[in-house]
A and B are shown apart, each in its own frame.
Chain A
Amino acid sequence: MARLDNRVSVLAALDLPAGDGPGRGGTHRGPRGYEIWESALRQAEFYATYAEMLETRRRLRRGEEWVRETYPDQDWVGPATLASSYLLAAQHAALVDARWATRLAVRAGTAYVAAGLPFGLFLLTGLLDDRTLDAGAVLGDLVEPFREPDASDALRHPVQLTYLLLAAASRPWLRDPLRQTVSGAEQWLTAHSLHPIGAQGVPIGQYLELANAMRYDEETAAARGDDGPVRDIAGRLAGLYRTQAAGLRTAQRNRYLWRQGASTVSIIDLEQVAISGLALRHRQWYRRLSAAITAELDRGDDLAQLSVWAMASIDTELTTIAPSVTDIMREPDRAWRTEDFREPDIAVVDPWHEIGGDGGHG
């Protein structure tokens, strides 16, 4: 197994095998993975631009024209499109630049919260550490829409409630404000344990077990020793990532869509990345758990390491970009159009020209 510990090794692992059948597959322009990097860059720019087009129209108070024309009775479509466009942009950007990806993911997270979806809170608490979340004094605003169990239809949906349960399991300080909403949720969700959740469509039961593993880790430690919870959680996460890798291998077979960055499966799935973030930040065990997950994946498909690598690359950059992330959370409507948040000119830098092949843009 090759260790995916920098962007160059990740892009090489994502490349189609050389000489793999007829057509244009296997003909490489530049280093291995160059086409993947280039298409990720183009797609990230497209989805970010599309989201900003929606933002522009909001700002000018002309309404989201095409949304209103096409979906006149469905007010939720505009905010949903905005949030998911930012998410797709962030997922593509994760292969290009961790700082850019994080800022886009935070925009997505705040847009999901504004749309009333717990997935936004799950995303933000998974990707960001407590210090970054705390710095903006915005935690109250992020949690507020989910305090009352009847606040929105999203809170009665098994998938969205599961995200809330996972976030609360990871961070004890969330349990109190979310108490009313998540009270009894675990039992209710057990009846929905086969319901597919997220882009991977895994059964909710797998996420519930992970939430329980975090909530009751002290009991596991008492029964199986100090390393018991680490081994338990690492094993569960590795199982999720192997499933994701199998999906990616299937998607790779449609080489046209794969090369265009247009597969219907995302190479970096921020839901999976956020899950690892929730587990890694649950206790002071980041390095230990990260090493345990990597060890679990030691003899499997390299692509199963993608989420762990993406989480590490975001975590490395958090200190540098925390101020801009905080500003996006504090004033999401303003953030996108302020020059301070303008994205770096990423067109001219590629990871093969960076020292060590990782890191952001200078």
Chain B
Amino acid sequence: MFVQMCVKGVNYITLDDAKDILRKRGLVCTWGRLARQISSAEIDQRLTEQELYLHLHAFDEKHPARGGLVRNETPFISLTAGSVQRDAFLAQNVVHPAHEIAMDFATDFGQRQGDCFVFRCWVFVGAQPNVAVRSQAEEVRELHTYTKYSPVQPLGEIVAKIEVPARQIEKFEHYQYVRGGQGKLQIRRLGIYDNPNYIDPHTVTNYRDHL
């Protein structure tokens, strides 16, 4: 188990919503937000390889077993750790920094102008995958589907389950993606909001500072 720092881009929320996520609610999966109350038994039913596959590859499709769309039924939360390695850059010519990926998501792939938010948080990632364990996030390294063009998923995707507690969210950055002078789009950073209740991940790892 190791601690992985991640970012998540969020859109279609207000500044007050973002503050509420930071200080109280945490980041909650869409299923949890829409259902409001979910039981441990229901969670266990959904934390499966099949549901993870649907989250990653059929996000906007009708869920094959439930009524709604996969995006509304998912118990997972997509985060990104980015992918910035010198050797990969020299081999593929592209880097995928977590901030840039999160901003792309936060602007709804460039469609959403106005306020958008980038949250910085941490999650536990297991040394080996185990979708059924709620407290452990999964590192998505897809080795089978896209082998035609990439040996691994390049975006450094991390998938959390059910929620990322508010205390694991360090801060969020408030941006505006807007047209400025001469009609050109701009990315403006309006502010950074720290979480007073944040728990430093060093306090939960086997790292001890000197006294």
Contacts and interface: CB of A to CB of B under 8 A. Distances in A.
B57 interface: yes
Interface string B48-62: 000000000111111
Chain A binding site: helix, strand, loop or mixed by DSSP?
helix
Given A46-B104, A49-B187, A77-B95, A39 B109 contact: yes
Contact of B146 (A88, A157, A251, A343): A251
B39 to A, nearest CB: 28
A119 B186 CA distance: 28
Interface string A25-38: 10000000000000
B206 interface: no
Nearest to A243: B148
A157 B91 contact: yes
A176 interface: no
Contact of B94 (A42, A199, A251, A260): A199
Contacts of A197: 91
Contact of B149 (A49, A52, A66, A247): A247
Contacts, number: 153
A159 B108 CA distance: 33
A285 interface: no
Given A42-B109, A50-B187, A339 B145 contact: no
Contacts of B69: 23
A22 interface: yes
A273 to B, nearest CB: 13
B205 interface: no
A24 interface: yes
Interface stretch (A4-12, A68-76, A205-213, A229-237): A68-76
Contact of A43 (B97, B110, B151): B110
Nearest 6 A-B pairs (CB), nearest first? A46-B110, A42-B110, A256-B60, A23-B61, A247-B148, A22-B62
Interface of B: 57-62, 69, 71, 84, 86-87, 89-95, 97-100, 103-104, 107-111, 145-151, 153-155, 177, 182-187
Given A46-B185, A264-B146, 5 more contacts: A46-B177, A53-B186, A88-B94, A262-B104, A342-B184
